[in-house]
Amino acid sequence: MSKQNTKRLITLGKKLLESTAIAGAVIVFVGLYYILGKAGIPYQDPPLQLQIQYYTFIDVGETLLAVGFTMSLLCLFILAILKHIEKRKKVND
């Protein structure tokens, strides 16, 4: 594989990781919407149907928050490692 193809592959990988980190942030905001917007404040002494709906929205929101945060954090961590490797490679060259 030529040096130019390797650079293109690295650039493509970085763009993919950045896009995935942004998608993770969007998923976090959707999770917050489910928790704050859809579930909202629970009713006082609600019927069983409303309790089920409330806890379902809370569970979906918490799951989305966890997945989105993990995605973003993992992608940013990998990007930081790649930048560090790239920096060390430029110093050694």
Domain borders along the chain are: 3-92
- 75: burial class by Cβ within 10 Å (0-12, 13-18, 19+)? buried
Q: Say if CB 75 and CB 22 are below 8 A apart.
A: no
- Token look-up 């917050």 returns 32
Q: Say if CB 72 and CB 29 are below 8 A apart.
A: no
What does the pLDDT profile of the chain (93 residues) look like in tens digits? 677 887 888 889 899 999 999 999 999 999 999 999 998 888 899 999 999 999 999 999 999 999 999 999 999 999 999 888 888 877 676
Look at residues 36, 35, 28 and name the one whose alpha carbon lies nearest to residue 56. Answer: 35
